Amino acid sequence: MTILSDDHFHDECGVFGVYDNPEASNLVYLGLYALQHRGQESAGIVSVDERIFLANRGHGLVADVFRQHELDLLKGRQAIGHVRYSTSGGSLNARNRQPLVVDTAHGGMAMAHNGNLVNGVEMRRLLERRGSIFQSTMDTEVIVHLTALSRRKTFAERLVEALSQVQGSYALLAMNEQCIIGARDPYGLRPLVLGRVGKSGYVFSSETCALNLIDAEFVRDVEPGEVVVISPDGIESFFPFPRKDRRLCIFEYIYFARPDSNIDGVNVYASRKRIGMRLAQENPVPEADLVIPVPDSGVPAALGFALAAGLPFELGIIRNHYVGRTFIEPQQSIRHFGVKIKLNANPHIIQGKHVVLVDDSIVRGTTSRKIVKMVRAAGAKSVHLRISSPPTTNPCYYGIDTPSRDELLASSHSVEEMRIYTTADSLAFLSLEGLYATVNGTGSGYCDACFSGNYPMPFPRHDENLQLSLLQET
Ligand code: AMP
Ligand code: SF4
Do 50 and 147 lie in one domain? The reply is: yes
pLDDT of residue 196: 98
The residues near 348 (Cβ < 8 Å, ≥ 6 apart) are none
CB 57 within 8 A of CB 232: no
Find out whether the beta carbon of 364 lies less than 6 Å from any atom of ligand 1. Answer: yes
Q: What is the CATH number of the domain that holds 104?
A: 3.60.20.10
Do 59 and 200 lie in one domain? The reply is: yes
Do 242 and 160 lie in one domain? The reply is: yes
Task: Specify if 260 maps to a domain.
Answer: no
Do 130 and 213 lie in one domain? The reply is: yes
Tell me if residue 107 falls in helix, strand or coil: strand
Do 159 and 301 lie in one domain? The reply is: no
13 is annotated as an active-site residue: yes
In the sheet that holds 354-359, the strands lie side by side as 290-293, 354-359, 382-387, 426-429
- Phi and psi at residue 19, to the nearest 5°: -120, 130
Do 281 and 409 lie in one domain? The reply is: yes
CA of 51 to the centre of ligand 2 (A): 38
- Percent of the chain whose predicted confidence (pLDDT) is above 90: 84
Do 184 and 293 lie in one domain? The reply is: no
Q: What is the CATH number of the domain that holds 349?
A: 3.40.50.2020
Whether residue 213 is predicted with pLDDT greater than 60 in this model: the reply is: yes
Task: Specify if 4 maps to a domain.
Answer: no
Task: Specify if 421 maps to a domain.
Answer: yes
- Percent of the chain whose predicted confidence (pLDDT) is above 70: 92
Q: Please report which confidence band the pLDDT of residue 92 belongs to, taking 50, 70 and 90 as the band edges.
A: low
- What is the rounded CA–CA span in Å between residue 16 and residue 25? 10
Find out whether the beta carbon of 171 lies less than 6 Å from any atom of ligand 2. Answer: no
Task: Specify if 425 maps to a domain.
Answer: yes
Do 190 and 333 lie in one domain? The reply is: no
Find out whether the beta carbon of 170 lies less than 6 Å from any atom of ligand 1. Answer: no
Range of 149's domain?
13-247
Q: How many independent structural domains does the chain possess?
A: 2
Mean pLDDT of the 147-168 span? 97
Find out whether the beta carbon of 366 lies less than 6 Å from any atom of ligand 1. Answer: yes
Task: Specify if 293 maps to a domain.
Answer: yes
Task: Specify if 190 maps to a domain.
Answer: yes
Task: Specify if 472 maps to a domain.
Answer: no
Look up the pTM and report it.
0.93
- What is the rounded CA–CA span in Å between residue 5 and residue 381? 46
Whether residue 209 is predicted with pLDDT greater than 70 in this model: the reply is: yes
Do 241 and 370 lie in one domain? The reply is: no
Do 420 and 282 lie in one domain? The reply is: yes
Lowest mean pLDDT among 136-145, 147-156, 435-444: 435-444
Task: Specify if 432 maps to a domain.
Answer: yes
Mean pLDDT of the chain: 91
Of 189, 217, 247, the residue that ends a domain is 247
Sign of CA dihedral 361, 367, 369, 373: negative
CB 415 within 8 A of CB 385: no
Do 185 and 305 lie in one domain? The reply is: no
Residue closest via CA to ligand 2's atom 2 equals: 450
Do 128 and 270 lie in one domain? The reply is: no
Whether residue 24 is predicted with pLDDT greater than 80 in this model: the reply is: yes
